[in-house]
Homo-oligomer: A and B are copies of this chain.
Amino acid sequence: MARGGENHGSISCFTCQNRDRTEWCALSPDELKRFDRAKTVRDFAPGEPIYHQGDPSHGVYCIESGLVGLRKIGADGSSTLLGLGFPTNTLGYRALLAGEEHLAGAEALKPTTLCFIEAGTVRDLLDHNPALGVQFLERAARELGEAEEKYYQSVTLNVRQRLIHLLLILRERYGSGQRNGGVTLELPLARQDIAAMIGTRPETLARTLKKMEEDGVAKFKGRRVDIPDAGKLLGEIEGDAWL
């Protein structure tokens, strides 16, 4: 188990590149000052837990950089990734606002830096700045739509189609186009975690990857994926509502 770094006070919300793409863009300069003073910055190594499934919410976590996974462990020990957290995303707000426990645990999947803001501070800001509430409301509404869509896909699509959907989402962040119309991407996830993301087993995933290689729609070498013709991938899932 790798150890993550400790606090480092070097990061300021005022210089944060992400800020205007987060909910916190609604804060006034005064509020931002308060927010900046109240926050705690912390680094996490891959695999390191951020909070645990079943914990009450102590506050929210704003992702500065890296990648985090929301993992739910079943009674039988099986693990499912309910979602990913990217930079600019705020984690843990759901449990805080609903007054519930965390449904899933959060852990770093890549070296990650995030800012923790204590529950009381969040609630206080929320009480005094309606615009912040609106930001979170819009965010919650969007995520609710995504969650419903994910459910719908899980009951209507097979493993191969679900995998393709995941690849297309990851392409937006980790993909790089190529001259010939193809795409290459460096996956941020291990096989096990890809399986956990689409709700299947590693064995089934391996077989699906192999079949896709045989069909010539993608090539998988370690975490590198080559997609010669993205259109062919899209063709396999056409008919789906796409966002």
| Interface of A toward B, CB cutoff 8 Å | 72, 74-76, 78, 80, 82-83, 93-95, 97-100, 103-104, 126, 130, 133-134, 136-138, 140-145, 147-152, 154-156, 199-200, 239-241
CA of A168 to CA of B130, assembled, Å: 38
SS of A interface (majority): helix
Residue of B nearest to A240 (CB): B75
Chain B residues lying within 8 Å of A72, measured Cβ to Cβ, are 152
Identify A155's interface contact among B80, B103, B152, CB under 8 A: B80
CA of A100 to CA of B155, assembled, Å: 23
Q: Is the CB of B140 within 8 A of A151?
A: no
With A137-B140, A151-B151 known, 8 other A-B pairs at CB within 8 A are A76-B239, A82-B151, A98-B141, A130-B130, A130-B133, A140-B144, A151-B154, A156-B199
Q: Is the CB of A94 within 8 A of B133?
A: no
18 interchain pairs, CB-CB under 8 A:
A72-B152, A74-B156, A75-B239, A76-B239, A82-B148, A82-B152, A93-B141, A97-B137, A103-B149, A126-B134, A133-B133, A133-B134, A136-B137, A137-B140, A140-B140, A144-B147, A147-B151, A156-B199
